Structure 1
Amino acid sequence: MDYKAIAQQTAQEVLGYSQDTAGWKVVKTSKKITVSSKASKKFNGNIYRVEGIIPQSTSKLSELLYLPEHRVTWDKSLKVFNVVHRIDSDTFICHAITQSFAMGSISPRDFIDLVHIKQYEGNRVIISSNSVDFPEYPPSSNYIRGYNHPCGYVCSPLQENPAYSKLVMFVQTELRGKLSPSIIEAAMPSNLVSVILNAKDGIKVLRNTSGCACHPKSHSSFLKKK
């Protein structure tokens, strides 16, 4: 499997989603976070777009979103988030296990995702992910194996205040199992708002405990140490 090619294609798709302004319907607004959706072209479900402003620079925010030692401290939707294989300094495979949500009506899933970090002009960073087959981590009987079609975070400096970032998250997750689409559509918007709120809380915690000692290129050194 050509993981590098898949990673590049996924990044381009997420970039395309960020430039696509047609057909989105706002399904939830809460605490200055907006969730929109429309029918996915990848599977029989929705793609969600979640937008919010984060009080952190783009380089530091992007690391909060994917470095495992940060991610597990703030993302309450996850039980596990581990890098299991590296392809290069910007591309790696992660194993994630989610918590149950929607008051337990949606049980935990596990995912094997190819994650890629790419910087664009204007200090914009896209962290894209797409589920892949990885023989070392086959599906187990403990969890339903979900599938993430091209997803990702787009982090951009806020024009009026570059110390803040605009975060746009795209999610099109096939949870699989025997779930009614109506349950997913009812639960997903609130769950996605919580992810952004948890990221904001994570920023505060890191500031208070360590000054958020992140550096713009530290993802490269992190992966090389693995």
Structure 2
Amino acid sequence: MDYKAIAQKTVQEVLGYTQDTSGWKVVKISKKITVSSKASRKFHGNLYRVEGIIPESAAKLSDFLYQTGERVTWDKSLQVYDIVHRIDSDTFICHTITQSFAMGSISPRDFIDLVYIKRYEGNMNIISSKSVDFPEYPPSSNYIRGYNHPCGFVCSPMKENPAYSKLVMFVQTEMRGKLSPSIIEKTMPSNLVNFILNAKDGIKAHKTPSGRGFRHNSHS
């Protein structure tokens, strides 16, 4: 499987979502975070767009969002986030296991995702992800294997204050299993707001006075 080609196609799709201005419906606004949705073209479910402002530069924010060692310390939606195969410095395959949601009515899922970081001019960074087959990690009987259609984080500096970033997140997750779409539609917007709030808290916790924090990878 040509993972690099899949990664490059996925990041282009995510970039396309940023330029798609039609058909979005605002489904939740909370704590200056806006969640919009529209019907996905990939499956019988929704594509969600989440927008918020993060008090960190775009470069450091994008590094923070994909660093596997730190992710589960702040992302309360995940039990496990591990790199299981590295293709190059910007492309890797991750295995994630989610927590249960909706008072336990949505059981944990596991995902195998191809993650790719692409840096654009103007300090905009996109972290794209898409589920792929990876023979070394077949589905197990312990979890329902979910599927992420093209998803991503888009981190771009605020023009008026580059120390702050606009984070736009696109999510279109096929939970699979025997879930009614209404349960997913009721719980997803709040979960997405919580993700942004958790990321803000995580960044705050990692800004230590001694200068020890998350590492900034300067590769291009």
The 1-side partners of 2:85 and 2:67 are apart by 14
The 1-side partners of 2:14 and 2:201 are apart by 25
Q: Residue 78 of structure 1: CA displacement? A: 0.3
Matches within 5 A, 1:87-126: 87-126=87-126
The 2-side partners of 1:90 and 1:208 are apart by 26
The answer to whether the aligner puts 1:217 opposite 2:210 as a matched pair is no
- The runs of 4+ residues in structure 1 deviating greater than 3 Å are 208-211
Q: Residue 10 of structure 1: CA displacement? A: 0.2
The 1-side partners of 2:51 and 2:212 are apart by 25
Matches within 5 A, 1:119-158: 119-158=119-158
Matches within 5 A, 1:27-38: 27-38=27-38
The 1-side partners of 2:81 and 2:156 are apart by 24
The 1-side partners of 2:216 and 2:199 are apart by 18
Matches within 5 A, 1:49-60: 49-60=49-60
* Identity within the alignment, %: 78
The 1-side partners of 2:167 and 2:102 are apart by 24
Deviations 1:116-170 (A, max 9, x none): 0000110000000000000000000000000000000000001110000000000
The 2-side partners of 1:21 and 1:112 are apart by 30
Q: TM-score, normalised by structure 2?
A: 0.97
Matched residue, 1:223: none
The 2-side partners of 1:94 and 1:29 are apart by 30
Q: Residue 211 of structure 1: CA displacement? A: 4.4
Secondary structure of the 1:36 match is: strand
Q: TM-score, normalised by structure 1?
A: 0.94
The 2-side partners of 1:101 and 1:48 are apart by 17
The 2-side partners of 1:26 and 1:211 are apart by 39
2:213 maps to a residue whose letter is C
The answer to whether the aligner puts 1:73 opposite 2:70 as a matched pair is no
Secondary structure of the 1:65 match is: helix
The 1-side partners of 2:11 and 2:72 are apart by 23
The 2-side partners of 1:67 and 1:176 are apart by 27
The 2-side partners of 1:119 and 1:184 are apart by 32
Q: Over aligned residue pairs, what C-alpha RMSD do you find?
A: 1.2
2:207 maps to a residue whose letter is R
2:71 maps to a residue whose letter is R
The 2-side partners of 1:166 and 1:202 are apart by 16
Secondary structure of the 1:83 match is: strand
Q: Residue 178 of structure 1: CA displacement? A: 0.2
In structure 2, the gaps of 5 or more residues are none
Q: Does the C-alpha gap of structure 1 residues 45 and 213 become closer, same or farther in structure 2, counting only changes over 3 Å?
A: closer
Q: Does the C-alpha gap of structure 1 residues 53 and 72 become closer, same or farther in structure 2, counting only changes over 3 Å?
A: same
Matched residue, 1:39: 39
Matched residue, 2:64: 64
Q: Does the C-alpha gap of structure 1 residues 213 and 97 become closer, same or farther in structure 2, counting only changes over 3 Å?
A: closer
1:215 maps to a residue whose letter is H
Tell me if the contact between 2:64 and 2:214 (Cα under 8 Å) persists in the aligned partners. Answer: no
Secondary structure of the 1:208 match is: coil
1:212 maps to a residue whose letter is G
Q: Residue 6 of structure 1: CA displacement? A: 0.2
Q: Residue 72 of structure 1: CA displacement? A: 1.5
Secondary structure of the 1:182 match is: helix
Secondary structure of the 2:87 match is: strand
Q: Residue 216 of structure 1: CA displacement? A: 4.0
The 1-side partners of 2:170 and 2:144 are apart by 22
